[in-house]
Amino acid sequence: MKFKKGNWKIDSRSLIRLQWTKYYPKLIVHEKFEKHVKWALRILTAVGILTCFLTFSYVTGIIITIGLFFIEQFFERTIFEYSVMIIQPFPDFEIEYDQWLTNGYFLLNPEMKDHTGYLNYFGPAYRDKDYAIKFFKYIRSWNLDEDIDDENNICISFVLEDDETYSTYLYANTERKWLKPMFTEYEKEVLVEKYGKKQQSITLQMIYWKNLRIELGMFFYKFLEQQPSNGEFFFAPFYIDGKVPVLIEELRILKTQYKLKSRSQLTPSEIEYHHM
C-alpha cells in the first residue's frame, strides 16, 4: 500500500512488512514503531495472565494458550530497522525541463559495423549547446567523470508505451559500488546505538525522462536494430542546430548496456515501473 505525505509518495512496505524465512514469517518493522510492538507484547502477556483466572474447558484453554504462545513468538522475533539515506547530489544549476527536446543518434553505415573503434552514438538532444554541456557533465559525475562506464553507473532505459510513444530514462544506478562502503561505514558508527537492528539503506536521487512519439523510419528504430542491448556504444549529448541534432563528441562515455522493455514487462523492482 502507498500513501501520500505532502509531495512524497511512501510505500508502506518500507515501514512494516512480512518476510518469509524457510519455516515461518518474520515481521520487519521500522524502529519508529518499536513502542507499538512492545505494547502488543505487554497486552498479550496481560491477556495470558487474565485467562488463568477465567474458567474455560480444558480443550479451549489449551487452544488459547497455544495461540497466544505463537502470536507472542511472532512479535518476539520482530526485526527492527533504522533508515539511512544517501542523497545523490543535485545539479548546482537550475534544471530547465524544456531543454531536452528529443534524442540524438549517430549511426554507422552497416558495412562499417565490424570496424574496430567505430561505434554507434546515442544521447539526449538539448535546445542549447551550453546547457547540453552543463547537464551532461552532471550526468558524467555519476560515473566519477570517467570516459568508460563498464559497471552501468549511468542507467539508460527505453520503455515502449501503449500509446505509440516511448520514454527514455536516465538515472544513476542505485547499486553503484561506492555506495555500499558508505552504508557499511555508518552501520559501524551506530553499531552500539542500534544494536540488534537492521539497517535500511535508502538512496534519494533524481530521475530524468523524456517521452517521444514513435514514427516510422525514425532513428530510434534504426538504433535498436543495429545496437544490441549488451554491446558497446557511445553515450554523448547533442544540441539542436536548426532542426538537426549535433553531436558533442568530446563528452562521450563508452557504455556497454541499455534496457529496452514495454511498459507491461516492467516489474515493481524496477525504477521505471513506478512512473506514469
The per-residue pLDDT for 3 is 39
Q: 198 with 28: CB under 8 angstroms?
A: yes
For the question of whether the overall pTM of this predicted structure is more than 0.85, the answer is: no
Question: 58-76 vs 34-52: helix axis angle to the nearest 10?
Answer: 160
Q: What pLDDT was estimated at residue 12?
A: 47
The predicted structure's pLDDT at residue 179: 80
pLDDT for 6: 46
Cβ–Cβ under 8 Å, residues 143 and 261 = no
pLDDT for res 120? 93
Contact predicate 4/51, CB 8 Å: no
pLDDT of residue 5: 43
Residues 114/108, Cβ–Cβ less than 8 Å = no
The pLDDT assigned to 63 comes to 75
The pLDDT averaged over each successive group of 10 residues in the chain (276 residues) is 45 61 66 69 67 63 70 66 78 93 86 64 96 96 94 95 94 86 77 72 86 86 90 95 92 96 92 84
Give the pLDDT score at 235. Answer: 97
pLDDT at 54: 63
For residue 108, the model assigns a pLDDT of: 77
State how far the Cα of 169 lies from the Cα of 56, in Å rounded to an integer: 64
